[in-house]
């Protein structure tokens, strides 16, 4: 049997890279991701040897630590058919940035290259690889969607979430102005340049409010925590959730920000 | 200007509360982004042209020495003179010398970022020669004693009321009742004043958008026609340009021109695109008697063969800063360098060293919008990251960031220890979040909580909760 026949004969084995923020702050996104993957016909595994994708080190210029973390992630996940993360930013780190960390080390470079082929962001994995057209969820809400930068510009994720959201019964998408403009999170940026980050997220939150939506969705918990934190500080009632929660029909957990205050 | 990049944070903080500036910065978003998009959408081959433009410059950079020599030969063949300037100081000395030999008392100047880079105006003034900026934006900031806040719109940080005030202050001949409330009236007034300066000037100094190797031609693009008057009315035309402006042929020039104005202002072409080859020939009705080109290196050749070489493809369209959320928030002056925004965050450390300029490549969210719109497809975020790497290697990264990172990395690299730490820490933090499930203020996360609440963790970590769920599934009868 060839490997593709082998794959067709059984469920694809997916390693769920939860991401550190989902792991620490928002486990519901992890469970929603697992449900979406299982519903799509995947066998989901959550390796315990995962911590973080390494972006804090990578974007601070610390190549040595980044590489060590990357090796650890590759070792823990390369045995799966696919590696899926509910974050465009972390998925892009695994997919687009890992191979470059090993430049000059042919063996590891090739290994990282092979690994990167298996890596996907959750929503685009569902639509583009598992050919999911409808997750069967329903939610009465007027939502607006923020395009997180790495997912949008490094992985080309724009239509995929909107296609799936369009199938959620009762849900209405109300596009905000500049949905593709950064929210000001930027990982450590929002701590290092707190005031500038604040100016950027203030503009973003203004656009969210002006959209008239009562729920904000996005595909990255980092951006969501930033926008949620600002919305909450401003006393807004807009609910904030990861798109996976809505697509999986798992909205019983109080939102990251919003009505539950 | 004096390099003030190390004060970026303080300057940014001031910029964020500057009401006038914030109002003016709104024009950057409104004025450039939609127009560029429209121009790009209207040209089906726009992205293919960007690839071509990138390839042309990559080819030049791989053979820069050959093309520079070809260019020099052709300038000389057309009667011009080429001066090689390794440093800014060399370039200043050469230009002053040309001006002094021409007996110049005033020089007119077309808009040129290179002359800003070498601080030419101050040098000429200090030596008794008055430089007169003729681009409207440059003219305005010269009146104010400022430097450009944007590479193609130098006065974009100002509002028209401020400009009117400057004109009334300096143009003392203005009658009180003269209406200057509209931009077109300001333009007319500047034009009247500048017209006389063109005729009086002995030397005209311009930059160059392109230097064409096969013909020895320099090219400038402007929207006001001031460059043409600058370079044709004086007895002497001096072009000051950096070495990476070279393109092999006229055909290459026209390829890149097709992406330049579209990326910059959303125009198909700038209003004026002017090609200058040598001084006035006997059959020419007008033109300068002398044509000089000062070729400036100032650190660029040292970028060749490094991870910053791609930066030398830059054609100074300004699209990166026009689309940058950080630039939108703080404006160009906060960067404290001649070149602001994303291109400046890469170029300034290349030209001035990372020691004093580390703030610039760090002040980016890596949102990638700059790279997405760059007509030359320069990987700006990647190069900013490379600067952070150079900083980190040399222990220039601020200590708090460094220690914080090392502490985090210690755990991130040890999954078992990490699990142990977060399985206690996270539920505890969740508990502290209380019924509001958020933190209004946290001592170790002030950078965050100063401006926004921190959502509290839900409870246990995902991995804890998942492991428990899986364990329950394993046990029959549960």
Kindly tell me if the per-residue pLDDT of A178 is higher than 80: yes
Site of tokens 């690994």: A115
Whole-angstrom distance, CA of residue A99 vs CA of residue A97: 6
Q: Which of A24, A34, A186 lies closest to B365 in CB terms?
A: A186
What does chain A come to in residues?
261
- Say how many domains are in chain A: 2
Tokens of B184: 């077109």
Tokens of B123: 């040098």
Question: For residue B155, with 0-12 CB atoms within 10 Å meaning exposed, 13-18 middle and 19 or more buried, which class applies?
Answer: buried
Indicate if A112 and A187 belong to the same structural domain: no
In which band, very low, low, confident or very high, does the pLDDT at A260 lie, cut at 50, 70 and 90?
very low
In which band, very low, low, confident or very high, does the pLDDT at A10 lie, cut at 50, 70 and 90?
confident
Q: Look at A229 and B434; give whichever has higher pLDDT.
A: A229
Question: For residue B158, with 0-12 CB atoms within 10 Å meaning exposed, 13-18 middle and 19 or more buried, which class applies?
Answer: buried
Q: Does A71 touch chain B (CB under 8 A)?
A: no
CATH code where residue A26 lies:
1.20.1050
Give B459's contacts in chain A (Cβ within 8 Å).
27
CB atoms within 10 A of CB A56: 21
- Tell if the CB–CB gap between B392 and A60 is shorter than 8 Å: yes
Closest CA to A13 of A38, A30, A32: A38
Determine the 3-state secondary structure of B109 from DSSP: strand
DSSP B292: E
Whole-angstrom distance, CA of residue A211 vs CA of residue A10: 44
Domains of chain B: 1-42+318-397 (no CATH), 46-140+202-302 (3.40.50.10420), 409-474 (no CATH)
- Closest residue in A to B326 (Cα) is A196
Closest CA to A17 of A43, A51, A55: A51
For A35-88, write each residue's pLDDT tens digit.
Answer: 999 999 999 999 999 999 999 999 999 999 999 999 999 999 999 999 999 999
Radius of gyration of chain B (CA): 27
Any domain includes A162: yes
Indicate if A25 and A90 belong to the same structural domain: yes
Region B399-410 average pLDDT: 92
Kindly tell me if the per-residue pLDDT of A34 is higher than 50: yes
pTM of the model: 0.95
What pairing do the DSSP bridges indicate for beta strands B454-455 and B438-439? antiparallel
* Average pLDDT taken over every residue of chain A: 95
DSSP B268: S
What pLDDT shows up at residue A180? 97
- Tell if the CB–CB gap between B369 and A149 is shorter than 8 Å: yes
List Cβ neighbours of B48 (8 Å cut-off, separation of 6 or more). none
Distance from CA of A113 to the nearest CA of B (A): 18
Indicate if A57 and A79 belong to the same structural domain: yes
- Closest residue in A to B463 (Cα) is A23
Q: Look at B447 and A231; give whichever has higher pLDDT.
A: A231
Give B368's contacts in chain A (Cβ within 8 Å).
149-150, 153-154
- Tell if the CB–CB gap between A24 and B422 is shorter than 8 Å: yes
Kindly tell me if the per-residue pLDDT of B333 is higher than 90: yes
Whole-angstrom distance, CA of residue A38 vs CA of residue A252: 19
Q: Does A60 touch chain B (CB under 8 A)?
A: yes
CATH code where residue A241 lies:
3.40.50.11810
Any domain includes A182: yes
Indicate if A19 and A121 belong to the same structural domain: yes
Region A146-173 average pLDDT: 98
CB within 8 Å of chain B, chain A residues 79-118: none
How many beta-carbon contacts under 8 Å exist across A and B?
Answer: 206
- Tell if the CB–CB gap between A31 and B465 is shorter than 8 Å: yes
What pLDDT shows up at residue A261? 37
Indicate if A39 and A146 belong to the same structural domain: no
What pLDDT shows up at residue B478? 45
Indicate if A16 and A89 belong to the same structural domain: yes
Answer whether A29's CB lies under 8 Å from A245's CB: yes
Could you give the residue ranges of the DSSP H alpha helices within A43-83? Answer: 55-58, 63-77
Distance, first Cα to last Cα, chain B: 74
Distance from CA of A49 to the nearest CA of B (A): 5
For B409-446, write each residue's pLDDT tens digit.
Answer: 999 999 999 999 999 999 989 988 888 888 998 877 88
Answer whether A250's CB lies under 8 Å from A32's CB: yes
Region B2-21 average pLDDT: 96
Indicate if A99 and A202 belong to the same structural domain: no
- Tell if the CB–CB gap between B453 and A232 is shorter than 8 Å: yes
Any domain includes A261: no
Closest CA to B394 of B355, B431, B433: B355
Kindly tell me if the per-residue pLDDT of B259 is higher than 70: yes
Q: Which of A113, A128, A143 is the last residue of a domain?
A: A128
Kindly tell me if the per-residue pLDDT of A96 is higher than 50: yes
Whole-angstrom distance, CA of residue A43 vs CA of residue A9: 13
Closest CA to A34 of A233, A248, A257: A248
- Tell if the CB–CB gap between A28 and B330 is shorter than 8 Å: no
In which band, very low, low, confident or very high, does the pLDDT at B476 lie, cut at 50, 70 and 90?
low
Whole-angstrom distance, CA of residue A209 vs CA of residue A207: 5
For A20-31, write each residue's pLDDT tens digit.
Answer: 999 999 999 999
Give B448's contacts in chain A (Cβ within 8 Å).
190-191, 194, 229
- Closest residue in B to A204 (Cα) is B325
Q: Which of A27, A61, A201 lies closest to B461 in CB terms?
A: A27
- Closest residue in A to B441 (Cα) is A233
Q: State the sign of the Cα–Cα–Cα–Cα dihedral A157, A159, A164, A170.
A: positive
Kindly tell me if the per-residue pLDDT of B105 is higher than 70: yes
**Could you give the percent of chain A with pLDDT greater than 70?**
95
Q: Which of A96, A128, A160 is the last residue of a domain?
A: A128
Region A206-216 average pLDDT: 97
Domain that holds residue A83: 3-128
Closest CA to A19 of A151, A179, A153: A151
Answer whether A129's CB lies under 8 Å from A40's CB: no
Any domain includes A252: no
Whole-angstrom distance, CA of residue A171 vs CA of residue A142: 6
For B226-254, write each residue's pLDDT tens digit.
Answer: 999 999 888 999 999 999 999 999 999 99
Indicate if A12 and A34 belong to the same structural domain: yes
Indicate if A35 and A89 belong to the same structural domain: yes
The DSSP code sequence of B157-204 is T--HHHHHHHHHHH-TT--TT----SHHHHHHHHHHHHHHHHHH-SEE
- Tell if the CB–CB gap between B405 and A18 is shorter than 8 Å: no
Give A201's contacts in chain B (Cβ within 8 Å).
451-452
What b/e string do you get for B350-365 counting C-beta neighbours within 10 Å, with b at 16 or more?
A: bbbebebbbbbbbbbb
Backbone angles phi, psi at B217, to 5 degrees: -100, 145
- Tell if the CB–CB gap between B447 and A49 is shorter than 8 Å: no
DSSP A151: I
- Tell if the CB–CB gap between A48 and B419 is shorter than 8 Å: yes
Region B366-379 average pLDDT: 98
Indicate if A157 and A121 belong to the same structural domain: no
Q: Which of A104, A128, A152 is the last residue of a domain?
A: A128
What pLDDT shows up at residue B123? 98
Indicate if A39 and A138 belong to the same structural domain: no
For B180-202, write each residue's pLDDT tens digit.
Answer: 888 888 888 888 889 889 999 99
Model ipTM? 0.95
Indicate if A120 and A219 belong to the same structural domain: no
Q: Does A14 touch chain B (CB under 8 A)?
A: no
- Tell if the CB–CB gap between B412 and A54 is shorter than 8 Å: yes
- Closest residue in B to A253 (Cα) is B458
List Cβ neighbours of B105 (8 Å cut-off, separation of 6 or more). B128, B129, B130, B202
What pLDDT shows up at residue B322? 98
Radius of gyration of chain A (CA): 18
Any domain includes A240: yes
In which band, very low, low, confident or very high, does the pLDDT at B175 lie, cut at 50, 70 and 90?
confident
Region B120-136 average pLDDT: 96
Any domain includes A13: yes
- Tell if the CB–CB gap between B466 and A72 is shorter than 8 Å: no
Any domain includes A70: yes
What pLDDT shows up at residue A1? 44
Answer whether A50's CB lies under 8 Å from A84's CB: no
Any domain includes A191: yes
- Tell if the CB–CB gap between B413 and A69 is shorter than 8 Å: yes
């Amino acid at each position: 049997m060839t490997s593709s026949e082998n794959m067709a004969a059984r469920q694809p084995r997916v390693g769920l890279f939860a991401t550190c923020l989902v792991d620490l702050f928002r486990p519901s996104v992890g469970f929603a991701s697992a449900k979406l993957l299982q519903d799509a016909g995947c066998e989901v595994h959550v390796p315990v040897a995962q911590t973080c994708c390494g972006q804090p080190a990578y974007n601070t210029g610390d190549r040595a630590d980044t590489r060590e973390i990357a090796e650890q992630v590759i070792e823990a996940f390369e045995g799966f058919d696919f590696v899926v993360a509910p974050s465009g930013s972390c998925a892009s780190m695994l997919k687009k940035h890992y191979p470059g960390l090993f430049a000059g080390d042919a063996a590891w470079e090739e290994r990282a290259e092979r690994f990167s082929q298996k890596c996907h962001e959750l929503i685009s994995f569902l639509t583009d690889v598992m050919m999911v057209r409808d997750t069967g969820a329903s939610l009465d809400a007027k939502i607006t969607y923020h395009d997180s930068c790495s997912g949008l510009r490094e992985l080309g994720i724009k239509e995929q979430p909107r296609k799936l959201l369009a199938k959620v019964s009762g849900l209405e998408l109300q596009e905000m102005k500049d949905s593709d403009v950064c929210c000001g999170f930027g990982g450590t940026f929002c701590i290092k340049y707190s005031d500038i980050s604040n100016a950027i997220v203030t503009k973003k939150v203004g656009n969210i409010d002006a959209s008239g939506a009562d729920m904000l969705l996005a595909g990255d918990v980092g951006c969501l925590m930033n926008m949620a934190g600002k919305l909450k500080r401003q006393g807004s009632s807009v609910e904030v959730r990861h798109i996976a929660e809505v697509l999986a029909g798992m909205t019983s957990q109080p939102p990251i920000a919003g009505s539950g205050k | 200007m004096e390099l003030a990049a190390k004060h970026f944070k303080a300057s940014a903080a001031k910029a964020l509360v500057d009401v006038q500036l914030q109002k003016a910065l709104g024009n950057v978003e409104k004025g450039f982004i939609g127009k560029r998009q429209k121009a790009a959408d209207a040209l089906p081959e726009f992205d293919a042209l960007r690839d071509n433009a990138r390839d042309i410059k990559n080819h030049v950079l791989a053979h820069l020495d050959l093309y520079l020599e070809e260019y020099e030969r052709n300038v000389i063949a057309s009667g011009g003179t080429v001066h090689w300037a390794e440093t800014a100081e060399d370039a200043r000395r050469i230009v002053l010398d040309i001006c002094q030999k021409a007996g110049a008392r005033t020089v007119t100047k077309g808009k040129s970022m290179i002359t800003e880079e070498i601080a030419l105006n101050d040098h000429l003034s200090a030596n008794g020669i008055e430089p007169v900026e003729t681009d409207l934006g440059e003219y305005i900031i010269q009146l104010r004693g400022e430097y450009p806040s944007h590479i193609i719109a130098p006065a974009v940080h100002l509002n028209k009321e401020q400009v009117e005030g400057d004109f009334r202050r300096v143009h003392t001949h203005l009658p009180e009742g003269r209406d200057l409330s509209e931009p077109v009236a300001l333009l007319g007034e500047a034009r009247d004043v500048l017209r006389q300066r063109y005729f009086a000037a002995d030397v005209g100094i311009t930059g160059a958008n392109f230097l064409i190797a096969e013909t020895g031609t320099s090219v400038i693009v402007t929207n006001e026609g001031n460059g043409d008057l600058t370079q044709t009315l004086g007895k002497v035309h001096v072009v000051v340009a950096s070495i990476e402006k070279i393109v092999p042929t006229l055909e290459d020039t026209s390829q890149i021109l097709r992406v330049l104005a579209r990326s910059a202002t959303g125009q198909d072409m700038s209003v004026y695109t002017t090609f200058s080859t040598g001084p006035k020939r006997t059959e020419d009705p007008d033109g300068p008697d002398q044509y000089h080109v000062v070729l400036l290196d100032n650190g660029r050749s040292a970028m060749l063969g490094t991870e910053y070489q791609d930066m030398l493809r830059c054609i100074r369209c300004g699209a990166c800063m026009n689309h940058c959320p950080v630039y939108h928030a703080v404006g160009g002056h906060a960067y404290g360098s001649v070149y602001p925004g994303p291109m400046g965050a890469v170029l300034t450390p290349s030209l001035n060293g990372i020691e004093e300029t580390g703030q610039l490549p760090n002040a980016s969210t890596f949102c990638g919008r700059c790279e997405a719109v760059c007509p030359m497809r320069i990987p700006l975020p990647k190069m900013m990251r490379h600067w952070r790497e150079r900083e980190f290697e040399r222990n220039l990264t601020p200590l708090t960031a460094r220690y914080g990172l090392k502490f985090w990395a210690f755990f991130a690299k040890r999954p078992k220890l990490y699990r142990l730490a977060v399985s206690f820490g996270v539920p505890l933090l969740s508990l502290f979040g209380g019924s509001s499930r958020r933190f209004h203020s946290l001592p170790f996360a002030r950078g965050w909580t100063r401006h926004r609440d921190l959502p509290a963790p839900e409870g246990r970590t995902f991995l804890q909760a998942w492991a428990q769920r899986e364990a329950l599934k394993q046990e029959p009868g549960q």
